[in-house]
Amino acid sequence: MTVKAIYENGVFRPIEPVDIAERTPVEVILPESDPDERRNQAEIFKLLRTSYPSGHTDTAARHNEHQP
């Protein structure tokens, strides 16, 4: 049986209902990660960590302009 799940807060949570008894032991086999995908993720995270000058010295001062 193949079950698609999401990993969050230390637990694999099935995306759809699974017809097995509670507390049934299972084995989870994760697919190999693609080296190109890992490299792309590393570059994305590098960009996200980079700060760029915006010209604003106090962005928080304009916070209320964007509130409903």
Structure tokens given for 28:
């989870």
User: Residue ranges of the domains in the chain?
Assistant: 5-51
**Which letter, b or e, does each residue of 2-32 get, where b requires 16 or more Cβ atoms within 10 Å of its Cβ?**
eeeeeeeeeeeeeeeeeeeeeeeeeeeeeee
Under the banding of pLDDT at 50, 70 and 90, the label for residue 65 is confident
> In this predicted structure, what is the pLDDT of residue 25?
93
Note if the pTM is more than 0.85.
Answer: no
- pLDDT digits 0-9 by tens, 11-51: 999 999 999 999 999 998 887 777 777 788 888 889 888 88
Output 9 or 67, whichever has higher pLDDT: 9
State the residue for tokens 């106090």: 58
Q: Please check the confidence at residue 62 and state whether its pLDDT lies above 80.
A: no
